[in-house]
Amino acid sequence: MKCAWVLLVAFASLSAYYVYLPLPSTISEPWKLMVLDAVFRCAQDLSNLVHYFGFVHHLRVLSFITGFFDKLDAESCENVKVTDTVFDGIPIRIFDPVEKWDKTLKRGVLYIHGGGWALGGARMRSYDQLCRAVAEGVNAVVVSIEYRLLPDAHFPEQFNDALHVTKYFLQPHVLAELSIDSSRVAISGDSAGGNLATAVCQQLIRDGNAINKIKLQALIYPVLQVLDFNTPSYQQNMDMPILPRFVMAKYWLHYLNGSYKYVDTVLANNHTSFDISQAVALRERLNWSSLLPSGIQKHYKPVVQPMGTPEVIQEIPAIFDVRASPLIAEKESLKLMPKTYILTCEFDVLRDDGLMYAKRLEDAGVEVTRDHFEDGFHGCMIFATWPLYFSVGARTRDNYIKWLDENL
């Protein structure tokens, strides 16, 4: 009996140790977030363990675990007709609001889900519910893209999938078939999906066509650059759930088909040091000393190494590819970008990616709505329904939908 108590206490203390994480008091519902983070870490640790023993790639295990709990078949409900189909060979899920009496054209939204180019999916419950909410709230046809993921696909394949679906969707006959007003189409995405959404917009500009067919872009805590892992937000939120800095660095390396052995190298900004000539010019485009207001910079200092690790650029040339890091696009392209909404969260390593992009777009003359959440954390918008409900999740979702409704 005594022994059982000792075991129980030991187990409880171990669990508490695993779950407990000091969090800022101003973050939305810290205890709930702690538990959510522990569940995520547990799934990650389990995947790494399976990977370690050489059974299956850890991302496949993680995908399986999240998919197991989170998959949803295409089920229409009273207000939204849901269909799985393909555009240009790439699977998509269409959410079509049912307006029985209304014969006028609807608005259109292309949605690109997040998940580090590795996780998530148009068929996942959280994204399915988000797209339903957008379809209903905006009375828009939402096309959610099921692009290929890591470890099966690497950059630029995710990007190309998103680009191909976008080009297919923008064809007049496709829009007409879906009863969409071709002058009222938006592209949108969260996290890695925000990266793909804006990279696709920029590509349409570089291709010299079709960008005028996109009225708006709406980016939710987007990932926008791989050149500086020491922005004030990367420094401030280094250990913040659910996206610590080293996890983001690993997603980046994996996306760009580089080895994880470079994690410490990139975290030290050794890939954009002064002895790497290409880096110097590009770093000006993400110079946060001039792009961010001083209140955001706080006491943080830029990390610019005089000498770095040039071999990493030979190994991973995509580090300087604008299709991977849309923040470093030249001003001439940015001038042609559509009206933009950028949502950022205070407790997110990617906060400054979004804030710097907002500033660069504004400087190029683009109309930008910045929507910053002081109690937000990375990924919060998909936690807006039971059982994973956070008040900041619901507030971010509502603001986003309201902006789309008022501007599209």
Ligand X SMILES: *[C@@H]1O[C@H](CO)[C@@H](O)[C@H](O)[C@H]1NC(C)=O
DSSP tag of 105: P
Which position among 309, 340, 344, 396 is part of the footprint of ligand X (CB under 6 A)? 309
The residue with tokens 């399976």 is 50
Gap between the Cα atoms of 42 and 60, Å rounded: 15
Gap between the Cα atoms of 81 and 77, Å rounded: 6
* 321 classed as catalytic: no
The single-letter code of the amino acid at 26 is: T
Decide: is 268 part of the binding site for ligand X (CB under 6 A): yes
Q: Which is nearer to ligand X, 257 or 333 (CB)?
A: 257
Minimum distance of ligand X from residue 174's CB (angstroms): 28
- The alpha carbon dihedral of 325, 326, 328, 333 has a sign of positive
Q: Which is nearer to ligand X, 71 or 331 (CB)?
A: 331
Q: Which of 58, 113, 271, 378 is catalytic?
A: 378
Subset of residues 13 to 72 that bind ligand X, contact rule: CB under 6 A: none
Q: Distance from first CA to last CA of the chain, Å, rounded?
A: 66
Minimum distance of ligand X from residue 285's CB (angstroms): 9
Q: Which two tokens stand for residue 108?
A: 């259109």
Q: Which of 37, 228, 348, 352 is catalytic?
A: 348
* 271 classed as catalytic: no
**Do β-strands 80-87 and 90-97 pair in parallel, antiparallel, or remain unpaired?**
antiparallel
Q: Which of 144, 191, 273, 325 is catalytic?
A: 191
Gap between the Cα atoms of 146 and 238, Å rounded: 30
Subset of residues 274 to 303 that bind ligand X, contact rule: CB under 6 A: 283-284, 287, 289-290
* 228 classed as catalytic: no
Decide: is 311 part of the binding site for ligand X (CB under 6 A): no
Gap between the Cα atoms of 174 and 142, Å rounded: 13
Gap between the Cα atoms of 370 and 380, Å rounded: 17
H/E segment holding residue 51: helix 30-52
Decide: is 107 part of the binding site for ligand X (CB under 6 A): no
Minimum distance of ligand X from residue 240's CB (angstroms): 22
Minimum distance of ligand X from residue 191's CB (angstroms): 21
DSSP tag of 146: -
The answer to whether the beta carbons of residues 119 and 113 sit under 8 Å apart is: no
Q: Which is nearer to ligand X, 277 or 290 (CB)?
A: 290
Q: Which two tokens stand for residue 259?
A: 């080895």
Which position among 203, 265, 272, 344 is part of the footprint of ligand X (CB under 6 A)? 265
Q: Which stretch binds ligand X (CB under 6 A): 13-21, 120-128, 264-272, 338-346?
A: 264-272
H/E segment holding residue 402: helix 391-407
Q: Which is nearer to ligand X, 235 or 305 (CB)?
A: 305
Q: Which stretch binds ligand X (CB under 6 A): 61-69, 165-173, 220-228, 261-269?
A: 261-269
Minimum distance of ligand X from residue 236's CB (angstroms): 19
Decide: is 258 part of the binding site for ligand X (CB under 6 A): no
Residue 67: closest CA among 117, 120, 116, 114: 120
Q: Catalytic site residues?
A: 191, 348, 378
For ligand X, the binding residues (CB under 6 A) are 154, 257, 264-265, 268, 270, 283-284, 287, 289-290, 305, 307-309
